[in-house]
Amino acid sequence: MNHNQTNMALAGIPRVRAVEPDGSVSAEGWYFRHVNRHPCPCDDRLKPGDIDECIVTDGSADWNLEPPVRLLKITPPTRIELIKEEY
């Protein structure tokens, strides 16, 4: 897979960007919702703070080395914006 192929849309997985309050883009990648705790089986439910909104993106690496996967937790005031793919 060449570098251009890593930016192609995957069916059902939204491509997104993190937008700072000043309008600058701090990251681009794939949307990922992370449940950050396991609920207790006895009368417990997930609360809004138990779910992280994240962006998964490639880290950097030297030539011919596999880049690490980065998981970026996005919190207000930074917002996640959908990237509309053009085909």
Q: How confident is the model at residue 39 (pLDDT cuts 50, 70, 90)?
A: confident
* 9 assigned to some structural domain: no
Residue 24 to residues 17, 21, 77, 86, Cα–Cα distance (Å): 10, 7, 12, 21
The per-residue pLDDT for 9 is 60
Interstrand relation of 15-19 and 51-58 (parallel, antiparallel or unpaired): unpaired
The rounded distance, in Å, linking the Cα atoms of 47 and 28 is 27
Identify the pLDDT of residue 86: 59
How much of the chain, in percent, has pLDDT values that exceed 90? 61
pLDDT at residue 43, rounded to an integer: 87
Whether 57 has a pLDDT exceeding 80, the answer reads yes
1 occurs within a structural domain:
no
Tell me: pLDDT of 84 over 60: yes
In-domain check, residue 21: yes
Please state, rounded to an integer, the average pLDDT across all residues of the chain.
Answer: 86
Whether 32 maps to a domain, the answer reads: yes
Q: How many domains does the chain have?
A: 1
- Establish if 4 belongs to a structural domain: no
Residue in 27, 20, 13 with CA at minimum distance from that of residue 58: 27
Do the Cβ atoms of 42 and 49 come closer than 8 Å?
Answer: no
**pLDDT (0 to 100) of residue 12:** 75
What range does the domain containing 32 cover? 14-82
